[in-house]
Amino acid sequence: MSLSKEPILELSDMAEFNHLVRQHPEKVIVLDFFATWCGPCKAIAPLYRELAIEYKGVIFCKVDVDEAEDLCAKYDVKMMPTFVFTKNGETLETLEGGVEEELRRKVREHSLAASSSAVAH
């Protein structure tokens, strides 16, 4: 899997996620666990896409909870939407719920932390 022109990747299982991590161990990866029938997921989707376009140094992914059971189990997803911030396969933070300002703040924080650690190396 390579980064396409589409700002958000769709992951369907753990193997795809692991492949992405191996390709980009230095990047923050945000996983958006959603369901097609979830109202709050639909409501926050435009912001998630906007953030994916704005923060080019972060990889944004969508994970359909009805299809990617292995990823849901690994990250203990109990509600939608759930956003999991990872780097090199390690969980940095989990954000549950569709609070737009909180999602925006967390993406900004993790993007800044990733870029400052890249500069430090």
108-117 own/partner pairs: CB under 8 Å, 24+ apart: 108/55, 110/28, 110/30, 110/58, 110/85, 111/28, 111/55, 111/57, 111/58, 113/28, 114/26, 114/27, 114/28, 114/57, 114/58, 114/87, 115/57
Residue 2 resides in a domain: no
Question: Does pTM top 0.85 for this prediction?
Answer: yes
Does the pLDDT at position 114 exceed 90?
Answer: no
Residue 58 resides in a domain: yes
Does the pLDDT at position 119 exceed 60?
Answer: no
Residues annotated as catalytic are 38, 41
Residue 86 resides in a domain: yes
Supply the range of the domain harboring residue 77. 8-120
Residue 78 resides in a domain: yes
Query: pLDDT tens-digit profile of 13-48?
Result: 999 999 999 999 999 999 999 999 999 999 999 999
How many structural domains is the chain composed of?
1
> Is residue 114 a contact partner of residue 58, using CB atoms and an 8 Å limit?
yes
Query: The domain spanning residue 12 has which CATH number?
Result: 3.40.30.10
Residue 105 resides in a domain: yes
